[in-house]
A and B are shown apart, each in its own frame.
Chain A
């Protein structure tokens, strides 16, 4: 057995892969600690992997950390040192927190899992991303990997050619500090949203913006692609992320775009500052699409490949994927369901597997979207009193519970689900979801505002079967797998009724989910379709600011804290007592 681990910089997680190259289990630390974006050493996740799979430390052959810790540390320090004395605060912070950085990974293993530290190896950050994406590809040979994120352990974007899993040649890289990911995060910060959390809000906001506005054009000019040297270039004087611990953008950016937004002010369409912010977001989105197209074009040029793996935080920018798929040389783009740093644990675990197999017998099985095993505990007994006190059972038998849930949805109700294993990635695909009729404006609005308390400019995703999706949306075969994990948006068909759906965004796009056969959503839709409901609105089951629910207790807690009345669980369909 092999373990892959991420942490310290972004969300931490752990993954378990067996000798046959099968992803057995995966867990994000935030799921267990309930702290969104938890980046501490994934002690709980590793414990869960060991406990749920009846493993002892001596059953683990190797453990891989997802990046080279000293490299990450030194690249930041080196860049900051070039800007002294302005960067002195960042340098002081880096040196004082040296023991808390990923460099301490070895010591943390020695402290919490004595014996594992001797089995610890290190993978390159972007290689971990690549191997994660490769696992989800049907073919493991002759494919190009594009990784674009904030910062890895040396670069911020890279292109590699995968001859086979034993030969992954890096052909191009974008060195720190020029970074498309950190540019987008800086704009996120400028617009008053939290970094690593609010990027998807910027993406939603961008749809309200005007590409021809002055502000959008100004933002669009902050970075560019140099065609002669094939490099991303950026005027770093607008950004401070490479020299400061607290500011991601400089006062020069404020001089250019006006004052940053107060994070406590609500952004509501029609408000005075809304259009200004939307135009800035539009500029950031346009620039992202432009640079991604350039990177992919260059990737095609140097590798000749027409099939691409795309990972790293920037690949979560789902509205840019449709644009990439339209490029003439693209036959296929594969994005893993968890393309950010948390998903790198999967790549790191496969790295161990590949390194241990002496390259003689390479097998990597395509992982499930729901690999997390349940913790070994008796949920029925544990929640007995909570359910007795706070809920009533509407149906206990699985078939009846699903049918009753379908009936409630058809009557305009919202249902939460805590079914089977949880999803790998940040998007709820049905097992930890909030669901309602995707064409019912009242229900979707209630889900968004009353239960989720979401910003009014953010749309909800529609989930449906492939045959239904074809009727309403312009699907692109190049990214068909992306629709299964909600990794790409698509346009509504022209003059189609889908333009009126409450799940359609203001720009006529939707981040659709094509449900997988035999999944929970597939089962629910099979019962809903005879009732005339073919599309579900699907949002993650959580309260704003919390991680998505992991277990039944979390689901019951969301129900108790919000106005959600129904919860479909493995124990049956529950109704909250009023």
Chain B
């Protein structure tokens, strides 16, 4: 059971990440003006959708073996793609980034994804059915990385491979930074939770005394109530 409990978050988060990638690619496909690029993004999105499906399947296998209480926490809810930060509230990457940066992002992150799948491969075992599936996903990621690189060099021929390397290092640092930030945030959260709860308790004590009956609508013409009031 302990193994399942430790594995569930890995498959849950990876499935989210892959689905978010699919949506990012689909958004890119819809925004480009080039039919060739649209095809590239479309095929990439299709692969990412398939990867997400594979990880959801692996999650489901483990979810069935978990206790109901734990399994309920790992149900997929699509809006969590945003609340968990896999898709930014500000919009898709292609909406926020310059095309050059977007492709560099894809180029770098596909490679980083591949290396993180190495860990999952070790977890499930290389010679298992799931292992074969993950190996195939890793080949896809490598292919995406290669395609992004080719696209990058075709469209920005003045760039040298070492400049791509700088993009990669920059993104690696960003990723590590995000991880440190997340860990700190979680630590801070744990530290501050008692304070938050105390504040909520005090606010709740005040809220208890609120009389909301004044705002009842019974026997009122709803069209005559002020349209500027948020209460």
List the interface of chain A (C-beta within 8 A of B). 33-40, 43-44, 64, 68-71, 74-75, 77-78, 80-82, 84-85, 87-88, 91-92, 94-96, 103, 121-124, 126-127, 130, 154-155, 158, 160, 165-173, 192, 194, 197, 246, 259-265, 351, 354-355, 377, 381-386, 389, 543, 545, 551, 553-554, 556-557, 560-561
* 8 A Cβ contacts from B42-73 to A: 42, 45-46, 49-50, 59-60, 63-64, 66, 68, 71-73
* 8 A Cβ contacts from B194-213 to A: 196-197, 199-201, 203-205, 207-208, 210, 212
Collect the chain A residues with CB atoms within 8 Å of residue B66's CB: 262, 264
Bound together, the chains give a CA A351 to CA B197 distance in angstroms of: 39
B36 within 8 A of A: yes
From known contacts A37-B79, A194-B75, infer whether A557 and B49 are also in contact, taking CB-CB under 8 Å.
Answer: yes
Collect the chain B residues with CB atoms within 8 Å of residue A95's CB: 196, 199-200, 203
From known contacts A39-B79, A74-B210, A167-B223, infer whether A265 and B64 are also in contact, taking CB-CB under 8 Å.
Answer: yes
Bound together, the chains give a CA A33 to CA B20 distance in angstroms of: 11
Instruction: Name A71's contact: one of B36, B205, B215 (CB within 8 Å).
Output: B215
Task: Please tell me if the beta carbons of B79 and A81 are within 8 angstroms of each other in the complex.
Answer: no
Task: Please tell me if the beta carbons of B89 and A170 are within 8 angstroms of each other in the complex.
Answer: no
Instruction: Name B45's contact: one of A261, A264, A557 (CB within 8 Å).
Output: A557
Task: Please tell me if the beta carbons of A96 and B196 are within 8 angstroms of each other in the complex.
Answer: yes
Collect the chain A residues with CB atoms within 8 Å of residue B119's CB: none
Task: Please tell me if the beta carbons of A160 and B218 are within 8 angstroms of each other in the complex.
Answer: no
From known contacts A64-B227, A82-B208, infer whether A169 and B219 are also in contact, taking CB-CB under 8 Å.
Answer: yes
Task: Please tell me if the beta carbons of B228 and A122 are within 8 angstroms of each other in the complex.
Answer: yes
A-B pairs with lowest CB-CB distance, top 5: A264-B63, A121-B227, A385-B39, A81-B204, A81-B207
Bound together, the chains give a CA A211 to CA B193 distance in angstroms of: 46
From B23, B77, B82, B217, name the one whose CB has the most chain A CB atoms within 10 angstroms: B217
B216 within 8 A of A: yes
Task: Please tell me if the beta carbons of B229 and A122 are within 8 angstroms of each other in the complex.
Answer: yes
B157 within 8 A of A: no
Task: Please tell me if the beta carbons of B46 and A560 are within 8 angstroms of each other in the complex.
Answer: yes
Bound together, the chains give a CA A261 to CA B35 distance in angstroms of: 47
Size bracket, chain B contacts: 35 or more
Task: Please tell me if the beta carbons of A262 and B68 are within 8 angstroms of each other in the complex.
Answer: yes
Task: Please tell me if the beta carbons of A91 and B220 are within 8 angstroms of each other in the complex.
Answer: no
Collect the chain B residues with CB atoms within 8 Å of residue A84's CB: 201, 204-205, 208
Bound together, the chains give a CA A64 to CA B203 distance in angstroms of: 30
Task: Flag B143-165 by CB within 8 Å of A: 1 or 0 each.
Answer: 00000000000000000000000
B104 within 8 A of A: no
Collect the chain A residues with CB atoms within 8 Å of residue B27's CB: 34
The residue in chain A whose Cβ has the minimal distance to the Cβ of B210 is A78
Task: Please tell me if the beta carbons of A262 and B64 are within 8 angstroms of each other in the complex.
Answer: yes
Bound together, the chains give a CA A184 to CA B54 distance in angstroms of: 32
User: How many contacts A-B (CB < 8 Å)?
Assistant: 194
Task: Please tell me if the beta carbons of A77 and B204 are within 8 angstroms of each other in the complex.
Answer: yes
Task: Please tell me if the beta carbons of B72 and A170 are within 8 angstroms of each other in the complex.
Answer: no
Collect the chain B residues with CB atoms within 8 Å of residue A386's CB: 35, 38-39, 42
Task: Please tell me if the beta carbons of B42 and A81 are within 8 angstroms of each other in the complex.
Answer: no
Bound together, the chains give a CA A468 to CA B153 distance in angstroms of: 61
Bound together, the chains give a CA A160 to CA B50 distance in angstroms of: 49
Bound together, the chains give a CA A551 to CA B29 distance in angstroms of: 12
Instruction: Name B205's contact: one of A64, A81, A94, A560 (CB within 8 Å).
Output: A81
Collect the chain B residues with CB atoms within 8 Å of residue A64's CB: 227
Interface SS majority for chain B:
helix
Collect the chain B residues with CB atoms within 8 Å of residue A96's CB: 196
B54: shortest Cβ distance to chain A, in Å?
Answer: 13
Collect the chain A residues with CB atoms within 8 Å of residue B78's CB: 35-38, 545
Task: Please tell me if the beta carbons of A389 and B39 are within 8 angstroms of each other in the complex.
Answer: yes
Instruction: Name A551's contact: one of B30, B38, B76 (CB within 8 Å).
Output: B30
Task: Please tell me if the beta carbons of B39 and A160 are within 8 angstroms of each other in the complex.
Answer: no
The residue in chain A whose Cβ has the minimal distance to the Cβ of B204 is A81
Bound together, the chains give a CA A354 to CA B199 distance in angstroms of: 42
Task: Please tell me if the beta carbons of A91 and B203 are within 8 angstroms of each other in the complex.
Answer: yes
Bound together, the chains give a CA A88 to CA B194 distance in angstroms of: 11
Collect the chain B residues with CB atoms within 8 Å of residue A167's CB: 221, 223
Collect the chain A residues with CB atoms within 8 Å of residue B221's CB: 167-169
Bound together, the chains give a CA A160 to CA B223 distance in angstroms of: 12
B65: shortest Cβ distance to chain A, in Å?
Answer: 9
From B91, B203, B220, B222, name the one whose CB has the most chain A CB atoms within 10 angstroms: B222
Collect the chain B residues with CB atoms within 8 Å of residue A43's CB: 91
Collect the chain B residues with CB atoms within 8 Å of residue A123's CB: 227
B191 within 8 A of A: no
Bound together, the chains give a CA A81 to CA B211 distance in angstroms of: 12
The residue in chain A whose Cβ has the minimal distance to the Cβ of B208 is A81
Instruction: Name A122's contact: one of B23, B64, B196, B227 (CB within 8 Å).
Output: B227
Collect the chain B residues with CB atoms within 8 Å of residue A154's CB: 212, 215-217
From B26, B27, B221, B228, name the one whose CB has the most chain A CB atoms within 10 angstroms: B221
B25: shortest Cβ distance to chain A, in Å?
Answer: 10
A273: shortest Cβ distance to chain B, in Å?
Answer: 11
Can you list 10 A-B contacts with CB-CB less than 8 angstroms, sorted by A residue number? A35-B79, A35-B81, A68-B231, A69-B230, A71-B230, A78-B210, A81-B205, A91-B201, A263-B63, A385-B35
From known contacts A40-B89, A103-B230, A560-B46, infer whether A160 and B38 are also in contact, taking CB-CB under 8 Å.
Answer: no
From known contacts A194-B75, A265-B64, infer whether A166 and B223 are also in contact, taking CB-CB under 8 Å.
Answer: yes
Collect the chain B residues with CB atoms within 8 Å of residue A192's CB: 72
Collect the chain B residues with CB atoms within 8 Å of residue A260's CB: 68, 72
B225 within 8 A of A: yes
B95: shortest Cβ distance to chain A, in Å?
Answer: 9
The residue in chain A whose Cβ has the minimal distance to the Cβ of B70 is A262
From known contacts A78-B210, A170-B218, A170-B220, infer whether A557 and B81 are also in contact, taking CB-CB under 8 Å.
Answer: no
Collect the chain B residues with CB atoms within 8 Å of residue A389's CB: 39
